[in-house]
Amino acid sequence: MAVGEEGIEKCLKIAHGLPEWFNKAGLRVMERELREEKTFLAVEGDGLLGFVTIKPLNEKALEILWIAVRRELRGKGIGTKLLEFVEGWAKDRGFELLVVKSSGDLTYKPYDETREFYERRGFARIALIDPYPEWGEPALIYVKALNTTK
Ligand SMILES: CC(C)(COP(=O)(O)OP(=O)(O)OC[C@H]1O[C@@H](n2cnc3c(N)ncnc32)[C@H](O)[C@@H]1OP(=O)(O)O)[C@@H](O)C(=O)NCCC(=O)NCCS
């Protein structure tokens, strides 16, 4: 679903609260992709806890473009729930692979937690591209095969 203006503002507010992970250039791309691509929200009451934005790369592979959880709520399982939701959604639609790009600067500590998050949830590193042309900085490419029964 496109999340609407109010949803976009709330997602951006979460991302603004995580400056170690999302810089100005990233936030600009995020804003555009929140408008153009599909985003799922984790909500409780009126509050937004986190979000995940996805985009099909082709009919078999789905990319996670952005995932973020409100700073003070990190580490409580919300990101895992968002990921599990995307996995179910993707499998139901015949996708076989999840793809995600993360920072490939292995000396930058904040992304240690992010890499740990993906790796403990079954993502495998397949390439480190340095520099990744669109970013001008290194990117680590992760994939996760979805267990499909075909
Ligand atoms: C990555 C992110 C979406 C995960 O969501 P989350 O709700 O914090 O994750 P969960 O609580 O489900 O899982 C936490 C996992 O992250 C890792 N982690 C390590 N240190 C952590 C920390 N200080 N805080 C949170 N997670 C940490 C662990 O692998 C942990 O797994 P475990 O539960 O098996 O120990 C969230 O932490 C976040 O918004 N991070 C900043 C933005 C970001 O990196 N986004 C991805 C790049 S696009």
Contacts of residues 123-129 at CB distance under 8 Å and 24 or more positions apart, as own/partner, are: 123/98, 128/104, 129/104
pLDDT of residue 1: 53
Fold adopted by 4-145: Aminopeptidase (3.40.630)
Shortest-distance Cα residue to atom 12 of ligand 1: 77
Ligand 1 atom closest to Cα of residue 75: 11
Domain ranges of the chain: 4-145
Residues 6+ apart with CB under 8 A from 114: 21, 102, 103
What residues line ligand 1, using a CB cutoff of 6 Å?
18, 21, 66-69, 74-80, 102, 113-114, 116-117, 120
Shortest-distance Cα residue to atom 24 of ligand 1: 75
Q: What is the pTM of this model?
A: 0.94
Is omega for the bond preceding 131 within 30 degrees of 0, making it cis? yes
Distance between Cα 74 and ligand 1 center (Å):
6
Distance CA 106, CA 22 (A): 16
| pLDDT tens for each residue of the chain, 150 residues long | 568 999 999 999 999 999 999 999 999 999 999 999 999 999 999 899 999 999 999 999 999 999 999 999 999 999 999 999 999 999 999 999 999 999 999 999 999 999 999 999 999 999 999 999 999 999 999 999 998 765
69 strand-pairing partners: 50
pLDDT of residue 59: 97
pLDDT of residue 68: 98
CB 111 within 8 A of CB 61: no
